[in-house]
Structure 1
Amino acid sequence: MQSRPHPHRTFYPNRKGFGLVESMISIAIIGIILAVAAPSIGSLIQRKKVIAAANELVSVIGYSRSEALAGQAEILVSFDDGAAAQGVSCVQVATTPLTRKSSCKCWGKITDSCRVAGAPGGKMLRIFSIPISSGVTFSTNSVAWPDSAVPGRFSFVWPRLLTDLPETLKITVSGSRGFQLRVDVSSTGQTSVCAPGGAEGEYPACP
């Protein structure tokens, strides 16, 4: 009896699969691509974090002005220099207590009242805080503050809704990979965002 090949089986005697050498080469190529792309991806993520922080600071300033208008009261905005020692960059918005030397801290426990011994305190309205471990920080570089005894604080004054800043407040937002944006706050409470290192996309170079 003569045997016949199975009608549904096709043989490819010259076709070979991936061997160990080919697999190792493929893995090496993928590793090289990832090594080249990783820094770019990391820089892009860091850039987006800096932009998000700058936008949030603009929002905080706008919110403070709106609260002064809605409540017909003075609103205090505080950047606490001591926050860095606590591992954060932060800013708080509160109604103004009878004395500006309020005990509330933007890095401390969030409570409704910011009290000072023997004096009514202000009410905490909003906090924006970023852990330094995230790779993004922000800081102010104003050389003059309304109250020299308590640097880092200014307020929106009702009814004119102007700040009591003697000069433009500059808030620098920095990423760990070098990308920076700056939020400028004028004495009229207007904000603008620029790039200290030169024009970056939609952000013009800082003057």
Structure 2
Amino acid sequence: MRQLHSIAMAARRRGLTLVEILVALAVLGVIAAAAAPSLAEMMERRRVVAATQELASIFSYAKSETNVTGAVLNLHLEPSVDSQVSCARLVTQSSRDTCGCNVATSDACSQVKGASVTLREFLLPKSTGVSFVASAVWGAGGNVLSFSRNVHYTNVQNFQLTVTGQRTGAQLRIEYNDLGRVHVCAPSGSLGGYPAC
């Protein structure tokens, strides 16, 4: 009889009770709720870094492409028409340059003979929580940066392209100096791995 009783007790001890499962789920829920905001902040910082790297690669592409083809290229950084996207558009230079970011996307780079041709475009919807804005002492052409073969100076001064995360305020800045050097830095030192501006 004693042996039968110990077998029955051993069978009752296996597995988890409903109360134990509910306690474990409650603890897991508290941990997930505490981790969610920091995960969202980390994701936004990664978006800021990704957007900055894409924009810096456009500068590198423009410099190498103009050296290969000999063509003059324009990088348009005007504020968009609807303010819903941040825009960077690299195009060939022509007398009929209708490729500005301040032109509706459907009308940009019209297919008129002799018009500019888009080589690269980066449109970042502001709904992603990340945006960028260019500032500089612009030349006569507005918010346009020109790249020419064997010309190692720029037509604008104090150029800065700042990428900002709306939720965290994390920022990275691309500086393009008068000699054509691209430098990425963190204005407030808020992102690790990048020097402070």
Structure 1 position 163 matched with structure 2 position 169: no
Say whether the 8 Å CA contact 1:171–1:183 is kept in structure 2: yes
Structure 2 CA distance for aligned equivalents of residues 17 and 200 of structure 1? 47
Aligned counterparts of 1:131 and 1:110: Cα–Cα separation in 2? 18
What does 1:121-160 align with in structure 2 at a 5 Å threshold?
121-142=115-136, 144-147=137-140, 150-160=141-151
Contact 1:93 1:127 in 2 (8 A): yes
1:148-191 Cα offsets, whole Å, 9 max, x none, are: xx4211201333243211x1210110112221111111122211
Point out the structure with max Rg over C-alpha.
1
Which structure shows the bigger proportion of residues in helix conformation? 2
Give the conservation status (yes or no) of the 8 Å contact 1:181–1:194.
yes
Matched AA of 2:127? S
Name the structure 1 match of 2:49. 51
**How far did 1:88 drift?**
1.1
How many residue pairs are counted as aligned between the two chains?
192
8 A Cα contact 2:63 2:147, kept in partner:
yes
Q: Distance in 2 between matches of 1:115 and 1:163?
A: 29
Matched residue of 2:179: which SS? coil
CA shift, 1:20, in A, is: 3.4
Shift of 1:37: 0.6
Decide whether the 8 Å contact of 2:67 with 2:150 is kept in 1: yes
Shift of 1:40: 1.2
Cα deviations by residue, 1:8-46 (Å, 9 ceiling, x for unpaired): x94325626433333322221111100111111111111
Of 31, 49, 68, the residue aligned with 2:29 is 31
TM-score by length of 2: 0.84
- In structure 2, runs of 5+ residues without a counterpart are none
Q: TM-score, normalised by structure 1?
A: 0.81
Q: Percent identity?
A: 32
**Cα contact 1:88–1:129 (8 A) shared by 2:** yes
Q: 1:172 maps to which residue?
A: 162
In 2, Cα distance between equivalents of 1:136 and 1:156: 27
Aligned to 2:74: 76
Note the residue ranges of structure 1 that are not aligned, 5 or more in a row: none
Secondary structure in 1 matching 2:184? strand
CA RMSD after TM alignment: 2.7
